[in-house]
A = this chain, B = another copy of it.
Amino acid sequence: MTIGVLGAGQLGRMLALAGYPLGLDFLFLDREAGTPAHQVAPSLLGSFTDPALLGQLAERCSVITFDWENVPSEALDQLEARAKIAPPRVALATAQDRLLEKALFAQLRIPTNRTQAVDSHADLQRAVRDIGLPAVLKTRRLGYDGKGQQVLRKAADIDKAWRELGGVPLLYELHVPFDYEVSAIAVRGQRGEFAMYPLNRNLHKDGILRLTRAPWKSPTLEAAARRYLRKVMDHFDYVGVLTIEFFVCRGRLLANEMAPRVHNSGHWTIEGAVTSQFENHLRAIAGLPLGSTAARGHSAMLNLIGSMPAQQALLAEPGLHLHDYGKAARPGRKLGHLTIVEATARAADIRAARLLRRIESRKI
Protein backbone atom coordinates (compact mmCIF):
# COMPACT_ATOMS: atom_id res chain seq x y z
CA MET A 1 0.00 0.00 0.00
CA THR A 2 1.34 3.43 -0.93
CA ILE A 3 0.64 6.41 1.33
CA GLY A 4 0.57 9.83 -0.34
CA VAL A 5 1.72 12.77 1.76
CA LEU A 6 1.25 16.48 0.99
CA GLY A 7 4.31 18.19 2.41
CA ALA A 8 7.67 16.51 2.90
CA GLY A 9 9.04 18.00 6.12
CA GLN A 10 10.33 16.26 9.21
CA LEU A 11 6.89 14.96 10.17
CA GLY A 12 6.64 13.28 6.78
CA ARG A 13 10.15 11.90 7.20
CA MET A 14 9.26 10.34 10.54
CA LEU A 15 6.00 8.98 9.07
CA ALA A 16 7.97 7.21 6.34
CA LEU A 17 10.52 5.79 8.79
CA ALA A 18 7.66 4.47 10.96
CA GLY A 19 5.78 3.10 7.96
CA TYR A 20 8.51 1.12 6.21
CA PRO A 21 8.54 -1.63 8.88
CA LEU A 22 4.79 -2.05 8.32
CA GLY A 23 5.52 -2.71 4.65
CA LEU A 24 4.05 0.65 3.54
CA ASP A 25 5.42 2.66 0.64
CA PHE A 26 5.34 6.45 0.41
CA LEU A 27 5.02 9.16 -2.19
CA PHE A 28 5.43 12.77 -1.11
CA LEU A 29 4.55 16.02 -2.87
CA ASP A 30 6.44 19.19 -2.03
CA ARG A 31 7.74 22.27 -3.80
CA GLU A 32 11.42 21.48 -3.71
CA ALA A 33 13.92 18.63 -3.70
CA GLY A 34 16.06 17.62 -0.74
CA THR A 35 13.32 18.05 1.89
CA PRO A 36 13.60 15.90 5.05
CA ALA A 37 11.11 13.35 3.70
CA HIS A 38 12.50 13.41 0.17
CA GLN A 39 15.83 12.24 1.58
CA VAL A 40 14.20 8.96 2.64
CA ALA A 41 11.30 8.47 0.21
CA PRO A 42 10.26 9.30 -3.37
CA SER A 43 8.79 12.75 -3.83
CA LEU A 44 6.93 14.55 -6.60
CA LEU A 45 8.33 18.05 -7.01
CA GLY A 46 6.19 21.05 -7.83
CA SER A 47 3.21 23.12 -6.78
CA PHE A 48 0.67 21.71 -4.32
CA THR A 49 -2.04 22.68 -6.79
CA ASP A 50 -0.48 21.23 -9.96
CA PRO A 51 -3.23 19.06 -11.51
CA ALA A 52 -0.78 16.63 -13.13
CA LEU A 53 1.12 16.00 -9.88
CA LEU A 54 -2.07 15.67 -7.85
CA GLY A 55 -3.36 13.26 -10.50
CA GLN A 56 -0.24 11.10 -10.10
CA LEU A 57 -0.60 11.17 -6.34
CA ALA A 58 -4.27 10.14 -6.51
CA GLU A 59 -3.51 7.37 -8.95
CA ARG A 60 -0.54 5.85 -7.16
CA CYS A 61 -1.69 6.17 -3.53
CA SER A 62 -4.35 4.30 -1.55
CA VAL A 63 -4.81 7.16 0.90
CA ILE A 64 -3.50 10.72 1.07
CA THR A 65 -2.50 12.53 4.24
CA PHE A 66 -0.50 15.71 5.03
CA ASP A 67 2.42 16.68 7.21
CA TRP A 68 1.42 20.35 7.72
CA GLU A 69 -1.93 22.06 8.10
CA ASN A 70 -1.51 24.83 5.57
CA VAL A 71 -2.21 22.58 2.58
CA PRO A 72 -4.14 24.75 0.05
CA SER A 73 -7.79 23.77 -0.15
CA GLU A 74 -7.55 23.83 -3.99
CA ALA A 75 -5.26 20.80 -3.69
CA LEU A 76 -7.84 18.94 -1.65
CA ASP A 77 -10.64 20.05 -4.01
CA GLN A 78 -8.78 18.35 -6.83
CA LEU A 79 -7.96 15.21 -4.85
CA GLU A 80 -11.30 14.72 -3.13
CA ALA A 81 -13.20 12.96 -5.90
CA ARG A 82 -10.27 10.73 -6.85
CA ALA A 83 -8.62 9.65 -3.61
CA LYS A 84 -9.26 8.85 0.03
CA ILE A 85 -8.05 11.71 2.24
CA ALA A 86 -7.35 11.26 5.95
CA PRO A 87 -7.69 13.02 8.36
CA PRO A 88 -10.95 14.47 6.96
CA ARG A 89 -10.49 17.77 5.17
CA VAL A 90 -13.14 19.54 7.26
CA ALA A 91 -10.88 18.96 10.30
CA LEU A 92 -8.01 20.47 8.33
CA ALA A 93 -10.12 23.46 7.26
CA THR A 94 -11.13 24.05 10.88
CA ALA A 95 -7.54 23.89 12.11
CA GLN A 96 -6.49 26.31 9.35
CA ASP A 97 -8.73 29.05 10.71
CA ARG A 98 -8.38 30.01 14.35
CA LEU A 99 -11.90 31.47 14.38
CA LEU A 100 -13.49 28.22 13.18
CA GLU A 101 -11.36 26.33 15.69
CA LYS A 102 -12.53 28.46 18.60
CA ALA A 103 -16.13 28.22 17.38
CA LEU A 104 -15.81 24.43 17.32
CA PHE A 105 -14.46 24.35 20.88
CA ALA A 106 -17.40 26.52 21.96
CA GLN A 107 -19.90 24.38 20.08
CA LEU A 108 -18.56 21.20 21.72
CA ARG A 109 -18.44 22.93 25.15
CA ILE A 110 -14.68 22.58 25.40
CA PRO A 111 -13.41 25.40 27.61
CA THR A 112 -11.28 27.93 25.73
CA ASN A 113 -10.25 31.54 26.23
CA ARG A 114 -12.51 34.41 25.06
CA THR A 115 -12.02 35.46 21.46
CA GLN A 116 -13.52 37.79 18.89
CA ALA A 117 -13.04 38.18 15.14
CA VAL A 118 -11.25 41.35 14.03
CA ASP A 119 -11.46 42.60 10.45
CA SER A 120 -10.99 46.35 10.97
CA HIS A 121 -9.39 48.88 13.28
CA ALA A 122 -12.87 49.52 14.72
CA ASP A 123 -13.32 45.77 15.35
CA LEU A 124 -10.04 45.75 17.24
CA GLN A 125 -11.07 48.70 19.43
CA ARG A 126 -14.38 46.96 20.13
CA ALA A 127 -12.64 43.68 21.00
CA VAL A 128 -10.33 45.45 23.47
CA ARG A 129 -13.43 46.97 25.10
CA ASP A 130 -15.48 43.75 25.09
CA ILE A 131 -12.85 41.22 26.07
CA GLY A 132 -10.24 43.30 27.86
CA LEU A 133 -6.45 43.27 28.19
CA PRO A 134 -3.87 41.79 28.09
CA ALA A 135 -4.66 39.94 24.90
CA VAL A 136 -3.12 38.49 21.76
CA LEU A 137 -4.05 39.56 18.23
CA LYS A 138 -3.42 36.73 15.78
CA THR A 139 -3.91 36.12 12.10
CA ARG A 140 -6.81 33.71 11.59
CA ARG A 141 -4.76 31.70 9.09
CA LEU A 142 -1.18 30.58 8.43
CA GLY A 143 0.37 31.37 11.80
CA TYR A 144 2.72 28.89 13.45
CA ASP A 145 5.54 28.81 15.99
CA GLY A 146 4.54 32.23 17.33
CA LYS A 147 4.59 33.91 13.91
CA GLY A 148 1.73 36.29 13.04
CA GLN A 149 0.99 37.29 16.64
CA GLN A 150 1.01 40.59 18.56
CA VAL A 151 0.63 40.97 22.30
CA LEU A 152 -1.50 43.90 23.55
CA ARG A 153 -0.92 44.94 27.14
CA LYS A 154 -2.55 48.39 27.10
CA ALA A 155 -4.93 50.37 24.91
CA ALA A 156 -1.95 52.25 23.43
CA ASP A 157 -0.77 48.99 21.80
CA ILE A 158 -3.83 48.89 19.51
CA ASP A 159 -2.33 51.01 16.72
CA LYS A 160 0.97 49.16 16.60
CA ALA A 161 -0.74 45.75 16.57
CA TRP A 162 -3.04 46.91 13.78
CA ARG A 163 -0.11 48.26 11.77
CA GLU A 164 1.73 44.94 12.08
CA LEU A 165 -1.12 42.58 11.29
CA GLY A 166 -4.08 44.58 9.90
CA GLY A 167 -5.40 43.81 6.42
CA VAL A 168 -5.99 40.05 6.84
CA PRO A 169 -8.69 38.35 8.94
CA LEU A 170 -7.63 38.46 12.58
CA LEU A 171 -8.66 37.04 15.92
CA TYR A 172 -8.47 38.82 19.26
CA GLU A 173 -7.88 36.49 22.22
CA LEU A 174 -7.87 37.27 25.91
CA HIS A 175 -4.48 36.43 27.37
CA VAL A 176 -5.18 34.10 30.26
CA PRO A 177 -2.47 33.79 32.89
CA PHE A 178 -1.79 30.07 32.80
CA ASP A 179 0.28 27.86 35.04
CA TYR A 180 1.70 25.69 32.30
CA GLU A 181 0.90 24.11 28.94
CA VAL A 182 0.04 20.51 28.13
CA SER A 183 -0.92 18.77 24.93
CA ALA A 184 -2.94 15.65 24.33
CA ILE A 185 -2.44 13.40 21.33
CA ALA A 186 -5.01 10.80 20.32
CA VAL A 187 -5.61 8.49 17.40
CA ARG A 188 -8.92 7.37 15.96
CA GLY A 189 -9.38 4.45 13.58
CA GLN A 190 -11.72 3.90 10.67
CA ARG A 191 -14.26 2.08 12.85
CA GLY A 192 -14.19 4.77 15.54
CA GLU A 193 -11.60 3.06 17.76
CA PHE A 194 -9.95 5.66 19.98
CA ALA A 195 -6.71 5.71 21.96
CA MET A 196 -4.97 8.62 23.67
CA TYR A 197 -1.34 8.94 24.67
CA PRO A 198 -0.47 10.10 28.18
CA LEU A 199 -0.43 13.91 28.50
CA ASN A 200 2.65 15.92 27.50
CA ARG A 201 3.80 18.94 29.48
CA ASN A 202 5.34 21.49 27.12
CA LEU A 203 7.76 24.35 27.54
CA HIS A 204 7.79 26.98 24.79
CA LYS A 205 10.39 29.65 24.22
CA ASP A 206 9.99 32.49 21.72
CA GLY A 207 6.81 30.78 20.53
CA ILE A 208 8.61 27.53 19.63
CA LEU A 209 8.30 24.26 21.51
CA ARG A 210 11.55 23.67 23.34
CA LEU A 211 10.94 20.76 25.75
CA THR A 212 8.25 18.13 26.25
CA ARG A 213 8.00 15.82 29.23
CA ALA A 214 5.75 12.75 29.21
CA PRO A 215 3.79 11.17 30.71
CA TRP A 216 2.61 14.23 32.64
CA LYS A 217 0.70 12.51 35.40
CA SER A 218 -2.54 14.24 36.27
CA PRO A 219 -5.55 11.93 36.30
CA THR A 220 -8.03 14.83 36.39
CA LEU A 221 -6.50 16.74 33.50
CA GLU A 222 -6.03 13.54 31.53
CA ALA A 223 -9.68 12.53 31.95
CA ALA A 224 -10.80 15.99 30.78
CA ALA A 225 -8.42 15.92 27.81
CA ARG A 226 -9.65 12.47 26.83
CA ARG A 227 -13.26 13.75 26.86
CA TYR A 228 -12.38 16.77 24.73
CA LEU A 229 -10.31 14.87 22.16
CA ARG A 230 -12.96 12.23 21.83
CA LYS A 231 -15.63 14.92 21.25
CA VAL A 232 -13.60 16.65 18.55
CA MET A 233 -12.63 13.40 16.83
CA ASP A 234 -16.13 11.93 16.92
CA HIS A 235 -17.51 15.24 15.63
CA PHE A 236 -15.34 14.97 12.50
CA ASP A 237 -15.58 11.15 12.24
CA TYR A 238 -11.84 11.65 12.38
CA VAL A 239 -9.27 9.12 11.12
CA GLY A 240 -5.63 9.53 12.14
CA VAL A 241 -3.75 11.39 14.86
CA LEU A 242 -5.03 14.69 16.30
CA THR A 243 -3.38 16.97 18.84
CA ILE A 244 -4.91 19.64 21.08
CA GLU A 245 -2.73 22.08 23.01
CA PHE A 246 -4.16 23.29 26.30
CA PHE A 247 -3.34 25.95 28.86
CA VAL A 248 -3.65 24.76 32.44
CA CYS A 249 -5.26 27.51 34.54
CA ARG A 250 -5.89 26.80 38.20
CA GLY A 251 -6.23 23.08 37.57
CA ARG A 252 -8.49 23.40 34.51
CA LEU A 253 -7.78 22.88 30.82
CA LEU A 254 -8.36 25.70 28.35
CA ALA A 255 -8.10 24.55 24.73
CA ASN A 256 -5.63 26.72 22.84
CA GLU A 257 -5.36 25.12 19.42
CA MET A 258 -5.61 21.86 17.57
CA ALA A 259 -3.41 20.21 14.92
CA PRO A 260 -4.99 17.59 12.67
CA ARG A 261 -1.77 15.56 12.45
CA VAL A 262 1.18 14.10 14.30
CA HIS A 263 2.70 16.78 16.50
CA ASN A 264 6.08 17.96 17.72
CA SER A 265 5.01 17.38 21.34
CA GLY A 266 4.51 13.68 20.46
CA HIS A 267 8.00 12.95 19.16
CA TRP A 268 8.87 11.29 22.47
CA THR A 269 6.50 8.45 21.53
CA ILE A 270 9.12 7.04 19.10
CA GLU A 271 11.17 5.65 21.98
CA GLY A 272 8.87 6.46 24.92
CA ALA A 273 5.64 4.70 23.92
CA VAL A 274 4.84 1.18 22.76
CA THR A 275 3.60 2.49 19.38
CA SER A 276 4.77 5.88 18.11
CA GLN A 277 2.32 8.60 17.05
CA PHE A 278 3.70 8.17 13.51
CA GLU A 279 2.97 4.45 13.37
CA ASN A 280 -0.48 4.97 14.88
CA HIS A 281 -1.35 7.70 12.37
CA LEU A 282 -0.42 5.29 9.57
CA ARG A 283 -2.24 2.35 11.13
CA ALA A 284 -5.38 4.51 11.39
CA ILE A 285 -5.35 5.91 7.85
CA ALA A 286 -4.41 2.50 6.37
CA GLY A 287 -7.36 0.86 8.15
CA LEU A 288 -5.15 -1.28 10.40
CA PRO A 289 -5.74 -1.96 14.11
CA LEU A 290 -4.39 0.79 16.38
CA GLY A 291 -1.30 0.13 18.47
CA SER A 292 -0.89 0.58 22.20
CA THR A 293 -0.38 4.21 23.31
CA ALA A 294 1.08 3.18 26.69
CA ALA A 295 4.28 4.92 27.79
CA ARG A 296 7.56 3.06 28.24
CA GLY A 297 9.30 4.85 31.10
CA HIS A 298 9.48 8.62 31.47
CA SER A 299 10.59 10.66 28.49
CA ALA A 300 11.87 14.12 27.77
CA MET A 301 12.10 15.48 24.23
CA LEU A 302 14.21 18.54 23.37
CA ASN A 303 13.99 20.38 20.08
CA LEU A 304 17.25 21.30 18.36
CA ILE A 305 16.63 24.77 16.97
CA GLY A 306 18.76 26.98 14.72
CA SER A 307 22.01 25.01 14.91
CA MET A 308 22.96 21.39 15.48
CA PRO A 309 25.14 20.56 18.47
CA ALA A 310 28.24 18.47 17.66
CA GLN A 311 27.18 14.90 17.05
CA GLN A 312 30.19 13.45 18.89
CA ALA A 313 29.25 15.23 22.11
CA LEU A 314 25.53 14.51 21.78
CA LEU A 315 25.91 10.80 21.14
CA ALA A 316 28.36 10.45 24.02
CA GLU A 317 25.37 11.14 26.31
CA PRO A 318 24.26 7.71 27.50
CA GLY A 319 20.87 6.60 26.20
CA LEU A 320 20.30 9.72 24.14
CA HIS A 321 18.26 9.26 20.96
CA LEU A 322 19.09 11.71 18.19
CA HIS A 323 16.72 12.58 15.37
CA ASP A 324 18.45 14.69 12.74
CA TYR A 325 16.00 15.95 10.09
CA GLY A 326 18.68 16.49 7.46
CA LYS A 327 17.95 20.24 7.17
CA ALA A 328 20.35 23.12 6.60
CA ALA A 329 20.87 25.26 9.73
CA ARG A 330 18.98 28.57 9.91
CA PRO A 331 18.05 30.70 12.96
CA GLY A 332 14.79 29.56 14.54
CA ARG A 333 14.55 26.44 12.36
CA LYS A 334 13.76 23.05 13.89
CA LEU A 335 16.69 20.89 12.77
CA GLY A 336 16.15 17.83 14.91
CA HIS A 337 15.22 16.59 18.34
CA LEU A 338 16.59 14.49 21.17
CA THR A 339 14.75 12.04 23.38
CA ILE A 340 15.85 10.51 26.64
CA VAL A 341 13.88 7.84 28.49
CA GLU A 342 14.43 7.32 32.21
CA ALA A 343 12.93 5.08 34.88
CA THR A 344 11.40 7.98 36.84
CA ALA A 345 9.91 11.37 35.98
CA ARG A 346 12.39 13.02 38.32
CA ALA A 347 15.40 11.47 36.57
CA ALA A 348 14.03 12.53 33.18
CA ASP A 349 13.42 16.09 34.42
CA ILE A 350 16.89 16.48 35.88
CA ARG A 351 18.61 15.16 32.76
CA ALA A 352 16.45 17.22 30.43
CA ALA A 353 17.16 20.42 32.37
CA ARG A 354 20.88 19.68 32.30
CA LEU A 355 20.88 18.86 28.59
CA LEU A 356 18.87 21.99 27.78
CA ARG A 357 21.34 24.14 29.76
CA ARG A 358 24.33 22.55 28.05
CA ILE A 359 22.82 22.95 24.58
CA GLU A 360 21.74 26.56 25.17
CA SER A 361 25.15 27.52 26.55
CA ARG A 362 26.72 25.66 23.58
CA LYS A 363 28.62 23.33 25.87
CA ILE A 364 27.46 20.49 23.61
A binding-site residues for B, Cβ under 8 Å: 13, 17, 20-23, 25, 39-41, 274-275, 283, 288-289, 291-292, 294, 296-297, 311-312, 315-316, 318-319, 321-324, 326, 336, 341
Contact = CB atoms under 8 A, between A and B. Distances in A.
Contacts of A17: 17, 20-21
Nearest to A14: B21
Given A40-B40, A283-B315, A315-B283, A321 B21 contact: yes
Contacts of A25: 39
A90 to B, nearest CB: 28
A318 B292 contact: yes
Nearest to A41: B40
A25 B34 CA distance: 12
A316 B296 contact: no
Contacts of A311: 22-23, 288
Given A17-B21, A20-B17, A20-B39, A291 B274 contact: no
29 contacts: A13-B20, A17-B17, A17-B21, A20-B39, A20-B326, A21-B321, A21-B323, A21-B324, A22-B322, A22-B324, A23-B311, A23-B324, A23-B326, A23-B336, A25-B39, A40-B40, A40-B41, A274-B319, A274-B341, A288-B315, A289-B312, A289-B315, A289-B316, A291-B315, A292-B318, A292-B319, A296-B296, A296-B297, A296-B341
Nearest to A325: B23
A316 B275 CA distance: 12
A333 to B, nearest CB: 15
Number of copies of this protein chain within its complex: 2
A315 B296 CA distance: 19
Contacts of A274: 319, 341
Given A20-B326, A23-B324, 5 more contacts: A21-B323, A274-B341, A289-B312, A296-B296, A296-B297
Nearest to A316: B289
Contacts of A319: 274-275, 291-292, 294
Contacts of A318: 292
A296 B274 CA distance: 12
Contacts of A292: 318-319
Contacts of A40: 20, 40-41
Give the top 10 A-B pairs by smallest Cβ distance, nearest first: A23-B324, A289-B316, A21-B323, A289-B315, A288-B315, A292-B319, A274-B319, A20-B40, A292-B318, A17-B17
A189 to B, nearest CB: 11
Contacts of A13: 20
A202 B180 CA distance: 49
A239 to B, nearest CB: 16
Contacts of A291: 315, 319
Nearest to A13: B20
Most buried by B among A25, A318, A323: A318
Contacts of A312: 288-289
Contacts of A41: 40
Contacts of A294: 319
A322 B289 contact: no
Contacts of A283: 315
Contacts of A22: 311, 315, 322, 324
A67 to B, nearest CB: 16
